[in-house]
Amino acid sequence: MTLTLLLDLDDTLLNTNIDSFIPAYFQALARELTPHVAPDLMLRALAAGTKQMMKSEDFSQTLEQVFNAVFYRQIDSPKDKIADAIENFYDNIFPTLGGVTTTKPEAKPFVDWALSQGYRIAIATDPLFPRKATHHRLRWAGFEPEQFELVSSFEQFHFTKTHPAYYAEVIGHMGFPDGPVLMVGNDLERDIQPAKRLGLGTYHISDDPTPPPGSEALSWGKLSDLRPWLESTDPVSLIPSFKSIDSILGILSATPATLNGLSRKLDRSAWSQKPMADEWCLKEIVSHLRDTEREIHQMQIKLFNEQDEPFIPRPDTSVWANQRDYLHEDCAVALKEFNEARRKTLNMLKEATTEVSAWDRKARHAIFGPTNFLEVISFIAEHDRLHIQQAWDTLNNL
């Protein structure tokens, strides 16, 4: 049973000293851009763009797109005018900030051991930085980015770490593994609590011998304590549970985000390639998700709103790929339409659950028998997970 490890970077694998590092980073960037933008204006725009990234829940916009929309509007300059200066900053100036940080001696031995165990490892750092900056920070910690299956950055991700959907997007990019998953980090509000809300096991990095107030992590301790804890922990206890309201909503938001990210750099021919003749290609998967969203999931929510204890039908959608000729859909249009349909579904859910008790409304499902609203919506999240797994397998077999 393969463990998937999500590892925070700052003050987990690297002593970052955020209170010193962030001012040094912002001031260095302001100096580099002074020929193009007044430092005070640049710093205000940088802060505003960062704030907007932290608030964003838009699964159709990467955090880079969210940031750029605010930053370049506030400095009143097109991106291409200062693009070379920004690239030079991250290539040549940002690496000099490593002196503000220090390595954690225990980090590399732990990661080397975890890799030797065959664990899948993602660097689950808050994706507020460009990829180049995050890669530099990993090197300061003693690692190469290529050692890890995934490193989150703002070019690729759609949510920051206070959102459970961020963690669903991370494991979505790893194919939504069915086995154990553990999030390891030092920050309660960014690492522990949102990961726990998604349903993941958590390990809180802390020098305190007692659990910090509000931690609720499975365990806690120094990074050097993590290996013996893992060696003594039953992996079955780390298998996630995605049955809570927060976890279900997190997955529903993360699914279009994950598909947007996985497919962003695909050429059109890749959308139509099948791993095997009798399996679906990515175009068919996305078209199926779109039509199921429009015709099944939204219909089910509507039935709950219109009837007491409704009967929930479940038509056979597996035949739609051939009947509706999904193979000849326009892939970009199908994905855009799925995004729009999912946004409508989430809005319908918000309107239908203004009271917590709404999740307890009873129904009878055509397949599963007696059920309630929460369970029916959990079936949507499970359907998402299965097709993210399918899409990930398809892309990895191209």
| 61 and 163 both lie in a single domain | no
Mean pLDDT for each consecutive 10-residue tract of the chain (398 residues)?
Answer: 96 92 92 92 94 98 97 90 93 95 97 98 97 97 97 98 98 97 96 96 88 76 96 96 97 98 91 89 96 97 95 92 94 97 98 94 95 97 97 91
Residue ending a domain, choose from 80, 100, 120: 100
Separation CA 121–CA 119 (nearest Å) = 6
pLDDT per residue as tens digits for the range 223-239: 999 999 999 999 999 99
Predicted pLDDT at 208 = 79
Residue ending a domain, choose from 238, 268, 286: 238
Query: What is the torsion angle, in degrees rounded to the nearest 10, for the CA atoms of residue 88, residue 90, residue 91 and residue 93?
Result: 80
Residue ending a domain, choose from 238, 254, 277: 238
Q: Give me the amino acid identity at 291.
A: D
Predicted pLDDT at 323 = 94
Cβ atoms of 356 and 297 closer than 8 Å: no
| 334 and 250 both lie in a single domain | yes
| 392 and 259 both lie in a single domain | yes
Terminus-to-terminus CA distance in the chain, angstroms? 25
| 198 and 80 both lie in a single domain | no
| 234 and 251 both lie in a single domain | no
| 25 and 90 both lie in a single domain | yes
Q: Which domain holds residue 53?
A: 17-100
| 167 and 290 both lie in a single domain | no
Joined together, the tokens standing for residue 241 give 């549970």
Predicted pLDDT at 160 = 98
CA 39 to chain CA centroid, Å, is 33
Joined together, the tokens standing for residue 193 give 């609590």
In the block, tokens 């005070």 appear at: 40
Looking at residue 287, which CATH number applies to its domain?
1.20.120.450
| 162 and 257 both lie in a single domain | no
Predicted pLDDT at 275 = 86
Q: What global pTM score does this model have?
A: 0.96
| 206 and 300 both lie in a single domain | no
Looking at residue 154, which CATH number applies to its domain?
3.40.50.1000
Predicted pLDDT at 137 = 97
What burial letters (b/e) apply to 330-355, b meaning 16+ CB within 10 Å? ebeebbbbbbebbbebbebbeebbee
Separation CA 201–CA 275 (nearest Å) = 33
| 361 and 278 both lie in a single domain | yes
Predicted pLDDT at 299 = 96
| 27 and 52 both lie in a single domain | yes
User: In total, how many domains does the chain have?
Assistant: 3
Q: Kindly report the length of the chain.
A: 398
Predicted pLDDT at 209 = 74
| 63 and 110 both lie in a single domain | no
